[in-house]
């Protein structure tokens, strides 16, 4: 006897049957004990959608914003999300502003748009208001967290979808002279100096350098292989004599796979913002961020020599 064909969107999962499909733009997700129950529930939900009554029955999770943010950050750390330390700092700040004890389901678009306005117009510790770019990055982290809440079946929809970013004004690119580069390196700690040299000569991002593993370094063939964490694409970066000598001067730790291991051998080197800012201040340089070091790789005054 042939098995009854189930509607699209109903699949077995262990000892249960899962509904995961879209109907007229509404996502339907449920778990049922039998395929017959799943099919019956799907028909009932489709009827509610047709009558415009399904979205009235939204999930009301008991988790607070603070509780779910910890779960989200744990996922970010486990999946080695780029710039995790910065993302954690941003999200912690926003969650405290919105209210970590507020239910996740009670946060809406109006709350975040109010945060945007207040964040943009409230002076910080240095008595300067943050830029529109900073506010945009803060909101992007929160929106991504809420999108994960939808993917994980905790919320039915993302209440922050549609929030517009501020228009950012373009800034003139800052370049360092060779003399400024040497001065900056001289003010760095030994480990930070090596990281800065890699950024100057390869154009690698900070997160790419900090997460670099020895397995992807080929000194014999003179290249570094990078794997894009988002799409899995691979690319190679040629190495000059300066970078090769720098990498060879780094002692390899048998307990860690990272070129720049952190205090815990299974973790990469921690975020170096404070160290870098101190080196920049000691060198008396203005308007220099770590990202600016990438510009030098494309500049005729420095770059891959």
- The 10s digit of each residue's pLDDT in 221-233 is 999 998 765 556 7
- Domain membership flag for residue 72: yes
The closest alpha carbon to 25, from 5, 52, 61, belongs to 52
Looking at the structure, tell me whether residues 201 and 293 fall in a common domain.
Answer: yes
pLDDT band at residue 214 under the 50/70/90 scheme: very high
pLDDT for 217: 92
Asked if residues 222 and 242 have their Cβ atoms less than 8 Å apart, the reply is: no
Its domain, for residue 14, covers 10-56
φ, ψ dihedrals at 300, nearest 5°: -75, -15
What's the distance, Cα to Cα, between the start and end of the chain in Å?
73
- Domain membership flag for residue 163: no
Two structure tokens written together for 258: 């990272």
- Domain membership flag for residue 166: no
pLDDT for 303: 47
Alpha-carbon gap, residue 87 to 89, rounded angstroms? 5
Looking at the structure, tell me whether residues 219 and 292 fall in a common domain.
Answer: yes
Asked if residues 138 and 94 have their Cβ atoms less than 8 Å apart, the reply is: yes
pLDDT for 282: 92
pLDDT band at residue 285 under the 50/70/90 scheme: confident
- Domain membership flag for residue 16: yes
pLDDT for 278: 92
Query: Tokens 């308007």 label which residue?
Result: 287
65-78 vs 84-98: helix crossing angle, rounded to 10: 170
Looking at the structure, tell me whether residues 118 and 203 fall in a common domain.
Answer: no
Looking at the structure, tell me whether residues 228 and 189 fall in a common domain.
Answer: yes
pLDDT band at residue 218 under the 50/70/90 scheme: very high
pLDDT for 59: 57
- Domain membership flag for residue 106: yes
DSSP state of 249: T
Looking at the structure, tell me whether residues 272 and 222 fall in a common domain.
Answer: yes
Looking at the structure, tell me whether residues 108 and 138 fall in a common domain.
Answer: yes
Q: How high is the mean pLDDT of the chain? A: 82
Residue 36 pLDDT exceeds 60: yes
pLDDT for 105: 83
The closest alpha carbon to 259, from 244, 279, 238, belongs to 244
- Domain membership flag for residue 305: no
Q: What is the pLDDT of residues 86-112, one digit of tens each?
A: 889 999 999 999 998 988 888 888 888
pLDDT band at residue 172 under the 50/70/90 scheme: low
Two structure tokens written together for 189: 């700690």
What percent of the chain has a predicted confidence (pLDDT) above 70?
Answer: 87
3-state secondary structure of 176: coil
Looking at the structure, tell me whether residues 71 and 38 fall in a common domain.
Answer: no
> Which residues neighbour 130 within 8 Å (Cβ) at sequence distance 6 or greater?
119, 120, 124
What percent of the chain has a predicted confidence (pLDDT) above 90?
Answer: 22
pLDDT for 219: 92
The average pLDDT across 25-44 equals 82
Looking at the structure, tell me whether residues 134 and 237 fall in a common domain.
Answer: no
Looking at the structure, tell me whether residues 49 and 71 fall in a common domain.
Answer: no
The average pLDDT across 237-252 equals 92
| Cα radius of gyration (the chain) | 25
Region of poorest pLDDT, from 57-71, 114-128, 157-171, 287-301: 287-301
Could you count the other beta carbons within 10 Å of the beta carbon of residue 186?
Answer: 11
Looking at the structure, tell me whether residues 193 and 281 fall in a common domain.
Answer: yes
pLDDT for 231: 55
The average pLDDT across 242-254 equals 90
Please state the three-class secondary structure of 76-118 as a single string. Answer: HHHCCCCCHHHHHHHHHHHHHHHCCCCEHHHCCHHHHHHHHHH
Alpha-carbon gap, residue 32 to 39, rounded angstroms? 9
pLDDT band at residue 198 under the 50/70/90 scheme: very high
pLDDT band at residue 124 under the 50/70/90 scheme: low
Looking at the structure, tell me whether residues 220 and 119 fall in a common domain.
Answer: no
- Domain membership flag for residue 172: no
- Domain membership flag for residue 4: no
Looking at the structure, tell me whether residues 281 and 217 fall in a common domain.
Answer: yes
The tally of domains found in the chain comes to: 3
Two structure tokens written together for 64: 């607070």
CATH number of residue 183's parent domain: 1.10.443.10
pLDDT for 28: 82
């Amino acid at each position: 006897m042939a098995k009854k064909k189930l509607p699209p969107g109903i699949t077995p999962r262990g000892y249960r049957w899962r509904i995961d499909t879209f109907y007229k733009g509404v996502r339907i997700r449920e778990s049922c004990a039998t395929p017959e129950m799943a099919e019956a529930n799907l028909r009932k939900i489709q009827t509610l959608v047709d009558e415009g009554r399904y979205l009235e029955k939204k999930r009301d999770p008991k988790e607070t914003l603070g509780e779910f943010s910890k779960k989200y950050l744990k996922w970010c750390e486990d999946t080695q999300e780029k710039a995790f330390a910065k993302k954690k700092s941003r999200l912690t700040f926003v969650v405290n502003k919105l209210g970590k004890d507020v239910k996740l389901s009670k946060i809406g678009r109006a709350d975040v748009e109010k945060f945007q306005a207040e964040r943009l117009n409230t002076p910080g510790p240095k008595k300067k208001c943050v830029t529109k770019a900073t506010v945009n990055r803060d909101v992007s982290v929160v929106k991504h967290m809420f999108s994960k809440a939808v993917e994980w079946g905790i919320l039915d929809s993302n209440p922050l979808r549609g929030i517009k970013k501020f228009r950012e004004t373009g800034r003139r690119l800052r370049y360092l002279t060779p003399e400024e580069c040497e001065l900056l390196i001289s003010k760095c700690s030994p480990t930070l100096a090596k990281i800065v040299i890699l950024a100057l000569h390869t154009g690698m991002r900070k997160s790419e350098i900090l997460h670099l593993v020895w397995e992807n370094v080929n000194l014999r063939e003179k290249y570094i292989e990078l794997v894009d964490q988002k799409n899995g694409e691979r690319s190679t970066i040629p190495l000059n004599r300066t970078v090769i000598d720098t990498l060879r001067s780094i002692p390899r730790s048998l307990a860690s796979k990272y070129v720049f291991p952190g205090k815990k051998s299974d973790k990469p080197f921690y975020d170096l913002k404070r160290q870098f800012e101190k080196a920049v201040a000691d060198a008396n340089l203005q308007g220099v961020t770590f990202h600016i070091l990438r510009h030098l790789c494309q500049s005729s005054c420095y770059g891959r020599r």
